[in-house]
């Protein structure tokens, strides 16, 4: 049975194809259109999935959409009615769009799918509730036969938080918290208030938090969120504007904190860092209470997480260390893109009753589910783009790359199938020497063109992770934060300890300063020989040269651009920043060998993220 799952029309549109319960392919539309968080119908992603499976759309048994538009419209309408006459301007703008296209998404989907097959039968089209799609994306690919499942995001149709129990091929949601009460929207409100872009800047708030102190955590708990001991919660909506307005917060929110909303071009101050630290502390506490309650209710040893809030690796790390669950598995595409995978799996196992075999393996296959290119095709594409390159055998390519990294060069690394989800995991990555005190600043300012405070993740050999970090379990998807081991710390001087805010950034805190955050934590990716043998070999070669099995691993893109998809994307990005070396398949490109006329100005090419 072949089933295509689709996520679209909000943000991070994607498609995923499963065959007899196995994920064959999955990709986000943004990677093809080069429009970050592209919400449009995923024509390109669907075409890729069909090509990867070697079929046309006529070979699909079902197509599943990741939420139910009628229920979403019901929530929108009931919210406006309940709060009338407030929000009339917003109502007047959004309702015509709903009546024109969103309310009739079944017809819209049918018309879009007929571009792949003129005789597409709408009887093959199914709809899955948003939070069930998230829950299915977390449980069914997990290595567990049974598990508690927690989904947290902004909002689906009505649900913002849901608890489910998965057993074999069964998955049942048994508790929900409904809109407008939402941990995701609370965090997005803080994102908006601190001057970052909602639905893309939340990870900046998480990265900024360690520079501040949680001075306002109690203020948030006293005024913004009524958080119960079992993790259930309600927001005081008199401080928010997202139900009926055009912004996340209102004047009362700003008055509570004592400062206006930060504009994106305004300098970050210690105040904004303290707000970030405070909202992160509140989120951590809320998630811990929810997971502890879920552990008591279900008695399960296993926990699966999905939804946009599950991308908060700081909170995930606290849940792992809390110990109420022995095993935790997090969907790598935890946001809306992952709904494409979840809706397809829900259709297969729940709607169609097909059996599931949990054999201890991770069904996401390392999340390497996107397009790949043969060596011959890479050479042809790079040559057509005007690139100058040497073709090496695999051993020589790995040696050249490891040598460049050991010499503290910044390297673009493009190998195998593209990752599905927001993280680069060693297929479309920018790599650097984690031992370098200057690498974080270099990559942020000269390669990624983004804020200097943004942290980088360490990729570490799985067999060596416990030697360098306080982590004994797998973290293949860069979704868990843990501390650098104390014996790897560097002693700080009294002057360094007295530094405040961003001034903390330039202090080398450990033997791997490029990936050690100011609180000695790191967002870890464990690299496994079975899921990414080539990346594992590169790390092993680097370790042989340096004694260190850790590299900086960040996404292969610049600020505002989606992660690269094709060899041409990689070359264009290489020519638009200060990367020293580009490795695409067995092709090795030195920056100084390239035609200067092909240099690209990325400062005007993409919106700020």
**Co-location of 131 and 245 in the same domain:** no
Asked whether residue 174 is domain-assigned, the answer is: no
**Co-location of 455 and 536 in the same domain:** yes
Residue 179 and residue 155 in contact, taking contact as beta carbons nearer than 8 Å: yes
The number of residues in the chain equals 609
Asked whether residue 175 is domain-assigned, the answer is: no
**Co-location of 362 and 297 in the same domain:** no
DSSP symbol at 227:
E
Cα 190 from Cα 266, distance rounded (Å): 16
Domain that includes residue 293, residue range: 183-328
Asked whether residue 165 is domain-assigned, the answer is: no
Asked whether residue 597 is domain-assigned, the answer is: yes
**Co-location of 581 and 451 in the same domain:** yes
At 126, which helix (H) or strand (E)? strand 125-127
**Co-location of 294 and 436 in the same domain:** no
Predicted confidence at residue 123, as pLDDT, reads: 85
Predicted confidence at residue 501, as pLDDT, reads: 65
**Residue burial 168-191, b: 16+ Cβ < 10 Å; e: rest:** ebebebebebebbbbbbbbbbbbb
Predicted confidence at residue 500, as pLDDT, reads: 65
Asked whether residue 154 is domain-assigned, the answer is: no
Asked whether residue 150 is domain-assigned, the answer is: no
**Co-location of 380 and 294 in the same domain:** no
In the chain (609 residues long), the average pLDDT of successive 10-residue segments reads 95 96 97 96 97 95 87 61 58 60 73 86 91 97 97 91 97 95 96 94 93 96 98 96 87 97 93 97 98 98 97 97 97 97 98 85 94 98 98 98 97 98 97 92 80 86 97 95 95 70 73 93 96 97 98 93 97 95 98 94 65
The contacts of residue 174 (CB under 8 Å, 6+ apart) are 163, 164, 165
**Co-location of 355 and 387 in the same domain:** no
Predicted confidence at residue 120, as pLDDT, reads: 83
Split into its structural domains, the chain has a count of 3
CA dihedral sign, ordered 370, 302, 326, 288: positive
Domain boundary among 317, 348, 366: 366
Asked whether residue 286 is domain-assigned, the answer is: yes
Residue 72 and residue 157 in contact, taking contact as beta carbons nearer than 8 Å: yes
Cα 566 from Cα 573, distance rounded (Å): 11
Bridge partners (DSSP) of residue 330 are: 305
**Co-location of 220 and 356 in the same domain:** no
Domain boundary among 366, 386, 413: 366
**Co-location of 138 and 287 in the same domain:** no
- What CATH number has the domain bearing residue 219? 3.30.420.40
538, two tokens: 């590169």
**Co-location of 314 and 412 in the same domain:** no
Nearest-5° angle of CA 591, CA 595, CA 600?
80
602, two tokens: 């990325």
13-39 residue pLDDT tens:
999 999 999 999 999 999 999 999 999
Asked whether residue 173 is domain-assigned, the answer is: no
**Co-location of 344 and 312 in the same domain:** no
- What CATH number has the domain bearing residue 579? 3.90.870.20
Residue 123 and residue 62 in contact, taking contact as beta carbons nearer than 8 Å: no
Bridge partners (DSSP) of residue 5 are: 16, 64
**Co-location of 588 and 527 in the same domain:** yes
Cα 258 from Cα 82, distance rounded (Å): 30
Which residue from 106, 34, 109 is spatially nearest to 73, judged by alpha carbons? 106
């Amino acid at each position: 049975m072949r089933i295509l799952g689709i996520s679209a029309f909000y943000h991070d549109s994607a498609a995923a194809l499963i065959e007899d319960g196995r994920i064959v392919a999955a990709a986000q539309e943004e990677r093809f259109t080069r429009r970050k968080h592209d919400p449009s119908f995923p024509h390109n992603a669907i075409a890729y999935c069909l090509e990867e499976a070697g079929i046309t759309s006529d070979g699909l048994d079902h197509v599943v959409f990741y939420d139910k538009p009628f229920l979403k419209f019901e929530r929108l309408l009931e919210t406006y009615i309940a709060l009338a006459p407030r929000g009339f301007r917003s109502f007047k703008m959004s309702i015509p769009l709903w009546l024109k296209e969103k309310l009739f998404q079944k017809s819209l989907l049918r018309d879009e799918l007929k571009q792949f097959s003129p005789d597409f039968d709408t009887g093959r089209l199914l709809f899955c509730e948003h939070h069930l799609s998230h829950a299915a994306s977390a449980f069914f690919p997990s290595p567990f036969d049974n598990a508690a499942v927690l989904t947290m995001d902004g909002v689906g149709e009505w649900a913002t938080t849901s608890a489910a129990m998965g057993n074999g091929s069964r998955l049942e949601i048994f508790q929900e918290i409904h809109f407008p009460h939402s941990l995701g929207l609370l965090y997005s409100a803080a994102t908006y208030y601190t001057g970052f872009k909602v639905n893309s800047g939340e990870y900046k708030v998480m990265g900024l938090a360690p520079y501040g102190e949680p001075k306002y955590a109690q203020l948030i708990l006293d005024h913004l969120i009524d958080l119960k001991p079992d993790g259930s919660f309600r927001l005081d909506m008199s401080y928010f504007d997202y139900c009926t307005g055009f912004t996340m917060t209102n004047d009362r929110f700003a008055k509570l904190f004592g400062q206006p909303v930060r504009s994106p071009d305004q300098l970050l101050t210690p105040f904004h860092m303290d707000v970030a630290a405070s909202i992160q502390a509140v989120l951590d506490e809320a998630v811990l209470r929810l997971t502890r309650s879920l552990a008591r209710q279900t008695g399960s040893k296993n926990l699966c997480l999905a939804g946009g809030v599950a991308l908060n690796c700081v909170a995930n790390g606290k849940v792992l260390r809390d110990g109420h669950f022995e095993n935790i598995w997090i969907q790598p595409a935890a946001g809306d893109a992952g709904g494409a995978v979840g809706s397809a799996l829900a259709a297969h196992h729940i709607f169609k009753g097909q059996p599931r075999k949990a054999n201890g393996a991770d069904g996401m296959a390392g999340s390497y589910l996107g397009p790949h290119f043969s060596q011959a095709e890479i050479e042809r594409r790079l040559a057509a783009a005007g690139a100058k390159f040497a073709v090496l055998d695999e051993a020589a390519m790995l040696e050249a790359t490891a040598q460049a990294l050991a010499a503290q060069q910044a390297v673009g690394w493009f190998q195998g199938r593209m990752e599905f989800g927001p993280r680069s995991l060693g297929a479309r990555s920018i790599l650097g020497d984690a031992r370098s005190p200057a690498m974080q600043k270099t990559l942020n300012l000269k390669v990624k063109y983004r804020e200097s405070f943004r942290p980088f993740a360490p990729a570490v050999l799985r067999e060596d992770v416990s030697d360098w970090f306080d982590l004994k379990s797998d973290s293949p998807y860069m979704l868990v934060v843990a501390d650098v081991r104390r014996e790897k710390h560097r002693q700080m001087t009294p002057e360094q300890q007295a530094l405040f805010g961003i001034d903390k950034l330039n202090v080398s805190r450990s033997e791997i300063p490029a990936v050690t955050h100011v609180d000695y934590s790191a967002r870890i990716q464990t690299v496994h020989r079975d899921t990414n043998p080539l990346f594992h070999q590169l790390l092993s070669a680097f370790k042989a040269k340096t004694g260190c099995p850790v590299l900086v691993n960040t996404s292969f893109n610049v600020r505002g651009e989606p992660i690269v998809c094709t060899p041409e994307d990689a070359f264009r990005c290489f020519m638009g920043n200060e990367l020293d070396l580009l490795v695409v398949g067995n092709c090795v490109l030195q920056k100084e060998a390239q035609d200067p006329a092909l240099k690209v100005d990325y400062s005007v090419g993409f919106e700020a993220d």
